[in-house]
Amino acid sequence: MGQTITEKIFSEHAGREVKAGEIVRVDIDMIIGNDITTPISIRAFEESGAEKLAKPDSFCIVMDHYIPAKDIASANQAKISRNFAYKHDLKYFFDEKDMGIEHALLPEKGLVIPGDVIIGADSHTCTHGALGAFATGMGSTDLAFGMITGGNWFKVPETIKVELRGKPAKHIYGKDIILELIRMIGVDGALYKALEFTGDTIPYLSMDDRFSICNMAIEAGAKSGIIAVDEVTKAYLEERRVANKGLRSEPKIHYSDESAAYCQVITIDVSRLSPVVAYPFLPSNGKPIEQAVADDLKIDQVMIGSCTNGRIEDLRIAAKIMKGKRVARHTRMIVTPATQKILMQAQHEGLIDILIEAGAVVSNPTCGACLGGYMGILGDGERCVATTNRNFVGRMGARTSEIYLANSAVAAASAIAGKIVDPREV
C-alpha cells in the first residue's frame, strides 16, 4: 500500500515509514506565534526553566491581531512578545515595521517550504498546506513545548481526498470551492483528517485560490489542508526566492502514491458551481448566490481582507468591479490588504485609488475586523458580507449581527448594490 503526501512528510521527518494513525515525535520546521497567543507560550517557556530556544531560526512571531495596539491591554500584551523577541534576538520577528497577517506574510517571505512540518497557535495555520507542507494549529502550551524541544508529538492523520473536476466559471474562486466542500460535509466532516485537494481543476487555481482553500480546511474540522506542488507552486516559490534573495530552506517535494489509502473520496464538479454564500451562523450554511439574491438581503457593511481573502488577487477583483462606481449610501466598506507588500503592490497598480474613490476605507494589515477585535465592529442587528473565514454568533461584534461569507467579487458587487447580488450580473 502506498502513502499519501501527509504520510510521506511525516515519514521523512521520523526517519522511517509511518502510516495514518501512528503517533510520532518529529522535529518542527517552523513554529508560528502571534501577539495574542505567544505571550501564553512565553509564560510556559519561562516557567519551565528554559533559557534558550531549541531552534531559534525555526520560531517566528508575527504581530497581526491587535497591532497597532487598540488599547492598554493589547499594548501590554504586545510588549511581552516584543521583549521576548529582542531578548532572544529573533531572526523572524515581524512587527509594525514589516506588517502582515501571519498566514499571508510567511509564504510571502519565503519562510514556508514544501515538505515542512509547521505548527502555529492559530487555527488557520493550515493555510500553508497550499505549498505542499503539513501545517496545523496547536495550543499555546504545545507551541512552548516546540520552543523548548524543537519538536512535538503528532498523530498522523487519515486523509480525505477531494477531487476537483472542471474549469472554474467566471467569478468562481478558491473561496467558493472550500465553502461548497464545507457545505457538503459540515463543520465536523473532516475531524482530525487531512484534506488533500487534487483533480484537473488544480492547474486553473492560482496560489491565492489555493491559500484560500487550505485556510478554511479547519472550518470542516480538518487537521490540515494540502495541495501537491505543481508548476504554479514552483513559479510562486521562484518569485519568493528572487524577492527574498533565497528561501529559508530547499523544498522537499512529495506526491501521494496512486495506491495510497484514503478514508474517503469526495468529488466536486467545479465547472457547475455558482458563487457560494455561507449564511449565519456556520461556514457550512452555504447557499448558491441565486438563493441569496432571491432573499433580497440588505447589508450594512462589507469587509474584504483577512488571511483568507486579503491577497492581491482579491483587491484586483474588487477594484475591477468597483471602478467608476460607489459604495451604496447605507453601506460601508473596509478593505484590509493582508501584508504591507500587498498594500504597496495595490497602490502601484492603482487599486487603492479605485477602492477609496468608490467609498471604501483601506486599513493597515490586521486581523482586527475579522475576529471582532477592533475596527469594523458590527452593531446590533447589522448585516455584513465578509471574505473572512468564520461567521459564528458575535464573531465580528454584536451577537445579533449577521455575517455572510463570500468571495471578493460577491463582496465588491454587494457593496455597490447595498445588498447581496450576483457579480456575474453586475
Strand partners, 386: 303, 405
Please check the confidence at residue 126 and state whether its pLDDT lies above 90.
Answer: yes
CATH number of 276-425: 3.30.499.10
> CA 309 to CA 405: how far, in whole Å?
11
If you search the block for the grid coordinates 487555481, which residue do you land on? 205
pLDDT of 337 reads 96
Please check the confidence at residue 374 and state whether its pLDDT lies above 90.
Answer: no
Please check the confidence at residue 363 and state whether its pLDDT lies above 90.
Answer: yes
Amino acid code (one letter) for 81: S
pLDDT tens string 17-38: 999 999 999 999 999 999 999 9
pLDDT tens string 285-329: 999 999 999 999 999 999 999 999 999 999 999 999 999 999 999
- Cβ atoms within 10 A of the Cβ of 28, count? 24
> Up-side HSE of residue 215: CA atoms within 13 Å toward CB?
27
For the record, the C-alpha cell of 351 comes out as 487599486
> Up-side HSE of residue 357: CA atoms within 13 Å toward CB?
13
Cα–Cα distance list, 2 to 6, 214, 259, 265 (Å): 12, 24, 5, 16
CB 174 within 8 A of CB 211: yes
Please check the confidence at residue 107 and state whether its pLDDT lies above 90.
Answer: yes
For residue 18, the SS3 value is: coil
Strand partners, 61: 33, 93
CB 78 within 8 A of CB 67: yes
For the record, the C-alpha cell of 168 comes out as 472554474
Average pLDDT over residues 155-163: 98
Q: Which of 135-144, 252-261, 363-372 has the lowest mean pLDDT?
A: 363-372
pLDDT of 369 reads 86
Q: What are the extents of the domains in the chain?
A: 5-268, 276-425
* pLDDT band for position 381 (cuts 50, 70, 90): very high
Residues 6+ apart with CB under 8 A from 86: none
> CA 20 to CA 22: how far, in whole Å?
6
Cα–Cα distance list, 317 to 181, 309, 346, 408 (Å): 23, 11, 11, 7
> Up-side HSE of residue 387: CA atoms within 13 Å toward CB?
35
Picking from 119, 121, 124, the residue whose alpha carbon sits closest to that of residue 151 is 119
> CA 411 to CA 250: how far, in whole Å?
38
For the record, the C-alpha cell of 145 comes out as 513545548
> CA 317 to CA 411: how far, in whole Å?
10
Please check the confidence at residue 426 and state whether its pLDDT lies above 90.
Answer: no
Mean pLDDT of the chain: 96
> CA 41 to CA 122: how far, in whole Å?
12
> CA 130 to CA 237: how far, in whole Å?
12
Q: What backbone torsions phi and psi does residue 225 show, to the nearest 5 degrees? A: -125, 150
* Domain at 5-268, CATH from 3.40.50.12160, 3.40.50.10860, 3.30.360.10, 3.30.499.10: 3.30.499.10
Cα–Cα distance list, 269 to 172, 203, 204, 274 (Å): 12, 15, 13, 11
> CA 85 to CA 178: how far, in whole Å?
36
> Up-side HSE of residue 376: CA atoms within 13 Å toward CB?
34
Peptide bond before residue 281 is cis, with ω within 30 degrees of 0: yes
Q: Which of 97-101, 135-139, 203-207, 333-337 has the lowest mean pLDDT?
A: 97-101
Average pLDDT over residues 317-342: 97
Residue 261 burial (10 A CB sphere; 0-12, 13-18, 19+): middle
CB 121 within 8 A of CB 140: yes
For residue 102, the SS3 value is: helix
Do 5-268 and 276-425 show the same overall fold? yes
> CA 370 to CA 393: how far, in whole Å?
13
pLDDT of 368 reads 86
